[in-house]
Chain A
Amino acid sequence: MARAFTPKVITSNLLIEGDAVWFTAEDTWSGDITDAEFLTDEAHADLRLLEANAQKNVMVGAYLADAKLGENGPEATHFREEFRTRGPSNYAHGKQVEQV
Chain B
Amino acid sequence: MYKYNDFDENFVRERVAQFRGQVERRIDGSLTEDEFKPLRLMNGLYLQLHAYMLRVAVPYGTLNSKQMDMLAHLAETYDKGYGHFTTRQNIQYNWPELRDVPDMLSDLADVEMHAIQTSGNTIRNVTADHFAGAAADEVADPRPVAELLRQWSTDHPEFQFLPRKFKLAVTGAAADRAVIKAHDIGIRILERDGVRGYEVLVGGGLGRTPMIGKVLHDFLPEADLLPFIEATVSVWNRLGRRDNKYKARIKITVHEHGIDEIRRLVDERFAEIRPTFNGVDQEILRSIEAQFAAPEFKSASTDGFEAARLANPAFRSWTDTNLTAHRAEGYAIVSISIKKHGDTPGDATADQMRVMADLARKYGHDELRISHEQNVILPHVHKSDLMDIYQILRVAGLATANIGLVSDIIACPGMDYCALATARSIPIAQQIATRFDELKLEHDIGELKIKISGCINACGHHHVGHIGILGLDRAGVENYQITLGGDHTETAAIGERAGPGFSADDIVPAIERLVVGYMDLRDNDDETFIQTYRRLGAAPFKDILYPKEKADAA
A contacts, CB < 8 Å to B: 13, 15-20, 56-57, 60-61, 77-80, 83-84, 87-91, 93-95
Contact = CB atoms under 8 A, between A and B. Distances in A.
A89 B416 contact: yes
Interface of B: 26-27, 29, 32-33, 47-52, 80, 94-99, 344, 347, 415-417, 424, 426-427, 430, 473, 476-478
B421 to A, nearest CB: 8
B51 A17 contact: yes
A90 B98 contact: no
Nearest to B100: A16
B465 to A, nearest CB: 20
Contacts of B430: 90
B424 A89 contact: yes
Nearest to B53: A18
Contacts, number: 73
Nearest to A80: B415
Given A18-B50, A18-B97, A89-B424, A79 B477 contact: yes
A95 B98 CA distance: 18
Given A16-B97, A78-B476, A90 B427 contact: yes
Contacts of B95: 93
B361 to A, nearest CB: 29
B27 A15 contact: yes
Nearest to B477: A79
B416 A84 contact: no
Contacts of A20: 49-50
A66 to B, nearest CB: 9
A97 to B, nearest CB: 10
Nearest to A15: B98
List the 5 shortest-distance A-B pairs measured between CB atoms, nearest first: A88-B416, A18-B51, A18-B52, A57-B29, A90-B344
Nearest to B411: A90
24 contacts: A15-B26, A15-B33, A15-B98, A16-B99, A17-B98, A18-B47, A18-B51, A18-B97, A19-B50, A19-B51, A20-B50, A57-B29, A61-B47, A77-B476, A79-B476, A79-B478, A80-B415, A88-B50, A89-B424, A90-B427, A91-B80, A91-B344, A93-B95, A94-B50
Contacts of A95: 50
A18 B79 CA distance: 13
A80 B97 CA distance: 22
B206 to A, nearest CB: 23
A19 to B, nearest CB: 7
A13 B49 CA distance: 8
A89 B427 contact: yes
A93 B426 CA distance: 15
A84 B49 contact: yes
Contacts of A18: 47-48, 50-52, 96-98
Nearest to A95: B50
Contacts of B97: 16-18
Contacts of A19: 50-51
